[in-house]
Amino acid sequence: MRTQALRQEVATPRTSIQLCLLGIVGGTCAALLIILFRLCVEWLQSSGFGSLKAWFNNEWPAWLLMPLISVMVILVIAYLTGFKHYRMGIPFVIHRVKYHYGHIPIRTTINQFFGGMLALAGGFVVGREGPSVHLGASGSSFLGQWLRLPYNSIRILAGCGIAAGISASFNTPFAAVIFVMEVVLREYKIHIFVPIMLAAACGSVLTRMVFGEGNELAFLSFNAFSEWMYLYLILLGVLLGMLATLFNNQLMRVMTLFRPVPMIWRLILAALITGTVGTILPEALGAQFIDVEALFNSDPGTLLLVAVLVCKVGLAVCAIGLGVPGGIIGPVMVIGMLAGAVLLLPLSMFVDVPEFTSSFALLGIAGMLTAVLHAPLAALSAVMELSYSPEIILPAMLVIVPAYVTSTQFFGNRSIFIRQLDYQNLPYAISSIREALEKTGVLAAMQTDYKIFYDAPEKAMEEYLSHNPTHIVVQASVFEIGVQYRLVQYNVSLEHDAHPLIYHEMEGLNSQSTLHEVHEQLKRSRLGAVYIYDQEPQDIIGVVTWSTLQSYLQKAHY
């Protein structure tokens, strides 16, 4: 009974204690899964591939073999789970959230966990936020499936899991909330915002308990600079917008070019490219922020800094474009840091370069995230949260706006996630009617005040309707294969020989369904009703009529 009351409450699109508690529990589940993932990556890097380096007198054989070994194990796991389930990452999650209420297939989650772990430890230039988003959404939505919650609340739980996953991955709860609302859900509703905010907070608390208070970008601090440099920030934004467009275009070109090639050979090619470049320039491997910190601390020359930037861009394009399981945000942030540091060098005659390297690295992150993902607010909140400095807001805005305008208006660049969704033929846009109806579960709209007549004569139903004209009357016909329900109403047609009663065949919908599924059943006839069942399709627990559906469409909160 308590579970049923919970389902009834969260079927309604409003902020409630129950929904907030679900956000906390879902966020906790997702955060624990991400923490386990991060610990496994660290263990594999230290114990697994760390031992590989110890077997050779030189490190270059290890740099060459690490990606190849990772790919071989990834392919074995993909074979065991089924190659058709090798679909993962943020674009896939956006599609599942929009069209499947956030339900993530378990086999894709297994592929993402182990594949992401091996790709990160193997030195590929991919980020851990892709696995974090996928695993977070899967872990949190699984809770909703286990509790058999309405689909509208499972979608919110998936958003909670994504926010908790990003927060647990980067220790940036505010940026995680903005990312979910701006990139994944693409809408702002208070009853969605509150549980997602709580989930992000849970992710941040848990990751701080395990990995410490700071974030991995704590080595970057913002130093205020003179106002005359603000003009250069506009140019910096333009250049970052151009670099982001180049990155997106080359990534899509690689994906399109190698589309006919089987996945096995694509992954092996990515491993060979990554391993070869790694033997020549180890600094170009991976998308870990600690490597950028070490590079900045070593006082690199201009040639080395440019070489690492070029190789990072090339390796990220090859790894992601050829299907290595990993995220794109981590590489984009690393590329942004390196690009910001490189674009500071022309000012070396006027400013102390080491003093402002961190500042320009942060601004590089803001510009690249904005132009690549088309998420300016998420980019602004990320750099503000990573730098612990509100003074970065104005300079970041001066970089974000020209980066976004340059990328979109002058070069026609779109969000990389949207381009990947189009490339994979995964739908992501839904109509306004569908979006409105999917926010309400059938449990919140169904009418339970109905009368069922089992194989009763027509006269009995007509007499009942004459005394209770506003009640819902259902006729149940019992057959060997089950029960068939029909809605019984007065025939209000003006035909002379019209029958006094009219019957509408009723289809059944699961109690987890939303009003969108009701609309799909009734939109052709625009009359009648559907019945709602809980466990067994024959056991009716409520009725949703076309008139009820219309009233929900016309409510002001939509």
**CATH code (residue 81):** 1.10.3080.10
Over residues 129-146, the mean pLDDT reads 92
Residue 433 lies in a domain: no
Residue 430 lies in a domain: no
Both 395 and 461 in a single domain?
no
Residue 428 lies in a domain: no
Angle at 108 between CA 184 and CA 168, to 5 degrees: 50
Residue 547 lies in a domain: yes
Both 361 and 504 in a single domain?
no
Residue 52 lies in a domain: yes
Both 199 and 168 in a single domain?
yes
| pLDDT at site 86 | 65
Q: How many domains does the chain have?
A: 3
- pTM strictly above 0.85: yes
Both 138 and 261 in a single domain?
no
> Over the stretch 413-436, which tens digit does the pLDDT of each residue have?
999 999 999 998 888 888 888 888
Rounded alpha-carbon distances, angstroms, from residue 115 to 68, 78, 159, 163, 486: 13, 8, 22, 21, 51
CATH number at residue 509: 3.10.580.10
Both 383 and 446 in a single domain?
no
Cα–Cα distance measured from residue 385 to residue 389, given in angstroms and rounded to the nearest whole number: 7
* Contact between residue 248 and residue 312 where contact means Cβ atoms under 8 Å apart: no
For 416, the domain range is: 229-423
Both 207 and 247 in a single domain?
no
Over residues 19-41, the mean pLDDT reads 94
Last residue of a domain, one of 217, 242, 263: 217
Percent share of the chain, pLDDT over 70: 96
Residue 257 lies in a domain: yes
Both 278 and 142 in a single domain?
no
Residue 429 lies in a domain: no
Last residue of a domain, one of 389, 423, 457: 423
Tell how strand 501-505 and strand 507-510 pair up: unpaired
Both 213 and 234 in a single domain?
no
Cα–Cα distance measured from residue 444 to residue 134, given in angstroms and rounded to the nearest whole number: 30
Residue 284 lies in a domain: yes
Both 201 and 320 in a single domain?
no
> Over the stretch 60-112, which tens digit does the pLDDT of each residue have?
788 888 899 999 999 999 888 876 656 778 999 999 999 999 999 898 899 89
Both 168 and 248 in a single domain?
no
Last residue of a domain, one of 217, 245, 274: 217
Both 48 and 81 in a single domain?
yes
Query: Among 59-68, 144-153, 368-377, which is the least confidently predicted range?
Result: 59-68
Both 38 and 164 in a single domain?
yes
